Amino acid sequence: MAISLNTRLTQLLGCRYPIIQTAMGWVADPKLVAATGNAGGFGFLAGATIEPQQMEAAIIETRRLTDQPFGVNFHMYQANAGEIVELVLRHKVRAVSYSRSPGKQMISRLKDAGVVCIPTVGALKHAQKAVEMGADAVTVQGGEGGGHTGSVPTSMLLDQVVNAVSVPVVAAGGFKDGRGLVSALAYGAEGIAMGTRFLMCADSPVPQATLARYLAVKDPAAIIISRAIDGMPQRMIRNELLNQLENSGGLKRLLLALQSGLAYRRHTGMSLTQLLGSALKMRGAGELTAAQSIMAANAPMVIQKAMVDGQPAAGVLPAGQIAASIDSLPSCAQLIEQIVRDAEVRLGELCRRVS
Ligand SMILES: Cc1cc2nc3c(=O)[nH]c(=O)nc-3n(C[C@H](O)[C@H](O)[C@H](O)COP(=O)(O)O)c2cc1C
């Protein structure tokens, strides 16, 4: 019996396999995205941490490295979200991903231009809302996933969402191999999206010292959810910085927040008013303290310390719990080939058992 991994997702995105490399701040760069595309997957550039003046160059560089389609991620709080959308339209980028909706109007502009809109959500009601706003597919990220995350486990969220929406659903949070892909398909998802597994690969730009820290984690319970960075639940590896923040009082946190806020401002070219505006928007969206709001606006800068500067003790180490069961750094090509081969073998075995 011929096994096919074609799904509505591969058709929407124009890729060979239903495997997405998600956007990860400082990590999902043109090299990683192109390597994923060349291997038959679909990658998203991390638009939230690429400097505005570098974003166009990043799109062009990705095109130079691959003739396969790819996407761009952004979040509506960033000051240059509108500029990114314009670049996506101008360069006919295949897809966008985002976690907070950029609004119905912006989504219909993107869709009218043929850009596939795939938000990431962590709760059933957000999936329903996203579809109502016009999403072409939704990625559901369960609580075991890396970075900002919800509290519902992937299996439960998938079950709820596939029953509630008619657009293709992509499963994220806790995937690394062919078994995971087959189980997601069995749930009714049309593909998987992985962050941590792609971060821990040879094409990832993350410095060796930081990757060593990821490889060293063997206990999923050491990859915790904390609100200490920006007030929002974020899953990361417990390290020195996190311990320091969790044990600091309000004033100390405010000082730490201001320090990295100023560095973020220098990096992004944001004016002080834009930084504060961004912090205020976030404050309005939740119950954040002043320190948390500023940290929320400049959190990418704290991540940079680990992801770019190679200082795993001084920066944030966003990771899914799956990091605890990853002990190798394959290339994207090896990784995707292995996942596909495993999935085909397992699907074949299941079919034989049934027949
Ligand atoms: C280092 C890191 C950085 C991330 N940065 C972003 C980001 O900038 N934007 C975003 O939408 N999601 C971000 N995420 C979440 C991922 O896109 C993805 O949804 C998540 O990693 C999936 O779970 P997994 O790690 O178990 O595969 C990040 C995750 C990690 C591990």
Q: What are the tens digits of pLDDT across the range 313-341?
A: 989 999 999 999 999 999 999 999 999 99
Q: Whose CA is nearest to atom 2 of ligand 1?
A: 24
Nearest atom in ligand 1 to 98's CA: 11
| pLDDT surpassing 80 at residue 304 | yes
The string of pLDDT tens digits covering residues 45-77 is 999 888 777 999 999 999 999 999 999 999 877
Nearest atom in ligand 1 to 49's CA: 8
Assess whether the C-beta atom of 174 lies below 6 angstroms from ligand 1.
yes
Q: How far is CA 190 from the centre of its chain?
A: 18
Assess whether the C-beta atom of 24 lies below 6 angstroms from ligand 1.
yes
The C-alpha atoms of residue 66 and residue 147 are separated, in whole angstroms, by 27
The token pair at 174 is 């806790």
| pTM for this entry | 0.90
| pLDDT surpassing 60 at residue 286 | no
The C-alpha atoms of residue 241 and residue 141 are separated, in whole angstroms, by 25
For residue 247, the SS3 value is coil
Computed over its alpha carbons, how large is the radius of gyration of the chain? Answer: 19
Using most ligand atoms within 8 A of CB, pick from 19, 24, 26, 229 the residue to mutate for ligand 1: 24
| pLDDT surpassing 80 at residue 222 | yes
The token pair at 234 is 């974020």
| pLDDT surpassing 70 at residue 105 | yes
| pLDDT surpassing 80 at residue 159 | yes
Assess whether the C-beta atom of 145 lies below 6 angstroms from ligand 1.
yes
Evaluate whether 50 touches 78 at the Cβ level (below 8 Å).
Answer: no
Residues contacting 25, CB < 8 A, separation 6+: 46, 48, 49, 147, 300, 303, 304, 307, 318
| pLDDT surpassing 70 at residue 37 | yes
The token pair at 283 is 């404050």
169-172 sheet: strands from edge to edge: 116-117, 95-97, 71-73, 42-46, 19-21, 192-194, 169-172, 138-141, 120-121
Which whole number is the average pLDDT over 10-29? Answer: 97
The C-alpha atoms of residue 263 and residue 72 are separated, in whole angstroms, by 24
| pLDDT surpassing 80 at residue 183 | yes
Strand partners of residue 46 = 73
Assess whether the C-beta atom of 73 lies below 6 angstroms from ligand 1.
yes
Q: Tell me, in angstroms, the distance from the centre of ligand 1 to residue 355's CA.
A: 39
- Look up tokens 């730490």; give the residue: 256
The C-alpha atoms of residue 214 and residue 233 are separated, in whole angstroms, by 20
Using most ligand atoms within 8 A of CB, pick from 196, 197, 217, 239 the residue to mutate for ligand 1: 196
Q: Whose CA is nearest to atom 13 of ligand 1?
A: 24
The C-alpha atoms of residue 140 and residue 160 are separated, in whole angstroms, by 10
Q: Tell me, in angstroms, the distance from the centre of ligand 1 to residue 5's CA.
A: 24
Q: Which residues of the chain does CATH 3.20.20.70 include?
A: 8-202+330-349
| pLDDT surpassing 60 at residue 287 | no
Res 79: pLDDT: 75
Res 278: pLDDT: 62
The C-alpha atoms of residue 322 and residue 175 are separated, in whole angstroms, by 7
Assess whether the C-beta atom of 304 lies below 6 angstroms from ligand 1.
no
Strand 116-117 to 169-172 pairing: unpaired
Assess whether the C-beta atom of 28 lies below 6 angstroms from ligand 1.
no
The C-alpha atoms of residue 311 and residue 317 are separated, in whole angstroms, by 10
Q: Tell me, in angstroms, the distance from the centre of ligand 1 to residue 350's CA.
A: 31
Q: Tell me, in angstroms, the distance from the centre of ligand 1 to residue 320's CA.
A: 8
The token pair at 122 is 């962590």
Res 175: pLDDT: 98
Res 77: pLDDT: 73
Assess whether the C-beta atom of 318 lies below 6 angstroms from ligand 1.
yes
Q: Tell me, in angstroms, the distance from the centre of ligand 1 to residue 195's CA.
A: 5
Q: Whose CA is nearest to atom 10 of ligand 1?
A: 23
Q: Tell me, in angstroms, the distance from the centre of ligand 1 to residue 235's CA.
A: 9
For 140, phi and psi rounded to 5 degrees?
Answer: -105, 120
CATH node for 8-202+330-349: 3.20.20.70
Secondary structure element (H or E) that encloses residue 205, with its range: none
The token pair at 33 is 């995205």
Which whole number is the average pLDDT over 84-92? Answer: 94
Q: Which runs of E-coded beta strand occur in the chain?
A: 19-21, 42-46, 71-73, 95-97, 116-117, 120-121, 138-141, 147-148, 169-172, 192-194, 223-226, 234-237
Res 279: pLDDT: 61
Using most ligand atoms within 8 A of CB, pick from 19, 20, 22 the residue to mutate for ligand 1: 22
Strand partners of residue 21 = 43, 194
